[in-house]
Structures are given as C-alpha cells and as structure tokens.
Structure 1
C-alpha cells in the first residue's frame, strides 16, 4: 500500500500547464485554472501556462519547446484527448515521447470508471517522458483534471510518496543522453 513519509522534505517540481482548445481563453479556461490551483496548493511551482488550438504540429512544437527548458520538470496538458477529429493532443504527445508511461492511461481509466462508469472508455489520457521531462495529457473536463491530479499526479509528484514516485527518478530520466 502507498504511504506518505512525512519525515522527508517535500521537493517542489516545476510544472507547465497547456490547455488545448479551439474555444477557450484564459478568462474561461476552467480546467487549466483548476490544474494551476491544485498544483500551487500542493506546493509545486507553475513554470508556464499557455492555451493553444487543436493543431497537432502546434501542440507538438509547444511541447518540444517546453521540454527543452531547464526550468520545466513536468508538462500537463488538458483537452484534445477524446475521439473526435479535432482531438489530436494524444498524437502530438506521442510525437514527442521517448518513452510512454503505459500504466498512466490504465490507472486513469480505473480512476475514471469509479466516477463516470463506462464513459471512461472515451478518454485517451496518456503520459510519457522526453528529454528528462514528464508529460501528461488529460481530458478537458474539470472533473477529469481533478481526478488525475488528486488520485495519481499529486501522489506521484510528491517525493515523500512511497514505495516510489516520479520525483525520485527525475534526475535519471535523461541519463541515456549523458552517456559517452
């Protein structure tokens, strides 16, 4: 069973939030704002935030620019994970991934099933790693963002979470690129 070892010091990570939408702006981006609030409440740092349209090359290029930045450890996107023709966020993420975190989508589906039943099959939430940065694509609904954060990411992005977490292996994500 997982636990939180409060004898360890909390280590904040730097997180960028990307909203993918053809219709939202900062004034009505509820999912992006919800993520920012939860991230900050958990003690992490918002490294950047952006809203871009549902365009695969644009999403891919934005993700690529963010993973090149030394001040971003994690990218969380919201929106564009569904089944319609405009939903291309998952494909853009996979264009960038060096390794996919297959179990992220599976665990997200399990969490979603408990909340929305079989409607969970319509989400294609995904996670991966590229150039030492974690990337996660979440659905555009506020509820899905809350579920992913509260049930998965909040725990995995907490260094004190045991038996293991994403933060403790963060320094080793790009070790293959440093080998000579």
Structure 2
C-alpha cells in the first residue's frame, strides 16, 4: 500500500440483491457491514433490492450519483438462475471493469468449493468515481471477497479513481 493512501477510509454502500431476504435475515449484508466497519470504513447506506434488472439499475444509478459514497458492495444475484441479474446490472454501469477481481475471486473460491467456483459472476470496477463490487450472496463468499480482495485494495482504489 502506498504511504499516501493507507489511511484513506471510505464511505460504503451495501446493497443486497434478493427476492427473499429482509433486513432481519440478511446475514451476508450484515457480514459486509461489520467487516467494513472493523476495517475502519463507514457504512453510510444499506438496502435490499429484488432480483429485478430495472429496479436494481435504478437504485445503483441513484447511489452512483451520491457524493457521500466512495464504494458500493453488492451481494447476491451473481449466479446463473434466470433471476440472477446483478452481473448484468453492474457491468452495464461500470466505466472500467477490474477484470482481476472476478478472476481472483473465482481462484480463491476454487480452494473452498472446487469447480463450482466457475458459477460465480463476481465483478468489480469503477463508475462515477466510485468503486463497485458484486459478490455472490453466501456468507462464505462475502467473507472471502471482503477480507481477501476488497479491504486490502480499497484505500488505493478510492485514491486512484478520485484523481483528476
């Protein structure tokens, strides 16, 4: 980490994509919020949205327009079922995709779940000077993605995408 960015702490939005979870039953959303706060970041937005492409993109666009956010972390909807639309919603809004994010996530997941890791369409990148990451909805997946990939690079990512 660069000495100039190691103390950067982000304002984070956490968005769970699910037709069944509520704020009371959203374990993965809670894990993301807790891990980000433990790392010194501030969670300033949290919501749950159904697996609906238009609804998800509409909410994401609103969050991307918020000056109060540095990063958005989504969980859920990254698989291959007909209702899984998170990848399409997120990738359609990214200005720059961080291809290594999905690749590394699947590589690390392979150690835990084997070839089923290929079913994850985790994606990351930037849009409107914000870091955006989409993770699968399982508790293990969000722990892995947040601890191993997001927390270690987030200060540097925030600094990079805000350069003029």
TM-score range, shorter chain: over 0.9
Match of 1:87 in 2: 84
In 1, Cα distance between equivalents of 2:125 and 2:80: 20
Indicate whether 1:65 and 2:56 are aligned.
no
Match of 1:50 in 2: 47
- The alpha carbon displacement at 1:33 in A equals 0.5
In 2, Cα distance between equivalents of 1:106 and 1:51: 26
Aligned pair count reads 164
Indicate whether 1:171 and 2:145 are aligned.
no
TM-score (norm 1): 0.86
In 1, Cα distance between equivalents of 2:23 and 2:68: 22
Superposed CA RMSD: 1.6
Picking from 21, 34, 56, the partner of 1:24 is 21
In 1, Cα distance between equivalents of 2:122 and 2:108: 12
Match of 2:33 in 1: 36
Look up the SS of the partner of 2:82 in the other structure. Answer: coil
Match of 1:178 in 2: none
In 2, Cα distance between equivalents of 1:18 and 1:75: 7
Look up the SS of the partner of 1:143 in the other structure. Answer: helix
User: Whose Rg is larger?
Assistant: 1
In 1, Cα distance between equivalents of 2:15 and 2:85: 14
Q: Where in structure 1 are there 5+ consecutive unaligned residues?
A: 160-164, 176-180
| CA deviations over 1:51-77 (Å, ceiling 9, x no partner) | 010000111111110010000010000
- The alpha carbon displacement at 1:78 in A equals 0.3
Q: 1:171 to 1:5 in 2, by over 3 A?
A: closer
Moved over 2 A (4+): 4-9
| CA deviations over 1:9-54 (Å, ceiling 9, x no partner) | 5221011000000000000000000000001000000020000100
